[in-house]
Amino acid sequence: MELGQVLEQRPTVTPQLILANTLLQLSSAELEQTIAEELAENPVLELVEVRRCLRCGLAMSGDYCPSCGRRGLSAEKDESAYREYNADSTALSEYNVADERDDDGISRLASITTLSDHLLHQARLSLPPQDLPIAAHLVQSLDEHGFLRCELDEVASLFGVDRTRVESVVS
């Protein structure tokens, strides 16, 4: 007869595990009802309201959202700030804070920037201000496939600069 040790892992069912599994099986409505019942039965429990980001719905960390970086305002303050900022906007009557809460990212796909918008944005980031008019003209001279259809010498003479400066804007 030999003596030996065997190492096994066996799951043990604890009351906490049973409760966790029970809660995980509940639907949203049932979970809310269970929470309300527990709050009513136990006077020590209290419901803590967590501020949520109006854009992504995650819990706020202080005054900013850790996910999207948006500055957190209450719904009323956010709406009043929007109204003050866009006082002359015609779309003001259509604004609703709840619309931002329902923003799922798919709705932003419709606002994809065009090639010319993207190129002008990149030019503003990387070029000195005196070269921005040249860049804007070059971007407007692109055809529908993104190819430059004007001569660099013509652009240089139009802006009164030498060709090397226009080439530096292109690159």
Q: Round to the nearest angstrom and report the end-to-end CA distance of the chain.
A: 83
The CATH fold of domain 115-170: Arc Repressor Mutant, subunit A (1.10.10)
Domain with CATH 1.10.10 in the chain: 115-170
> What is the rounded CA–CA span in Å between residue 9 and residue 20?
21
Give ∠ CA 102-94-106 in degrees, rounded to 5.
30
Query: From first to last of its 171 residues, what are the pLDDT tens digits of the chain?
Result: 788 899 999 889 999 999 999 999 999 999 999 999 999 999 898 888 888 777 777 777 777 777 766 665 554 555 555 555 555 444 444 444 445 555 555 555 555 678 888 888 888 888 888 888 999 999 888 888 888 888 889 989 999 999 999 998 888
* Helix ranges, 57-96 (H): 75-85
Query: What's this model's pTM, rounded to 2 decimal places?
Result: 0.37
Please check whether residue 34 is in contact with residue 23, taking contact to mean a CB–CB distance below 8 angstroms: yes
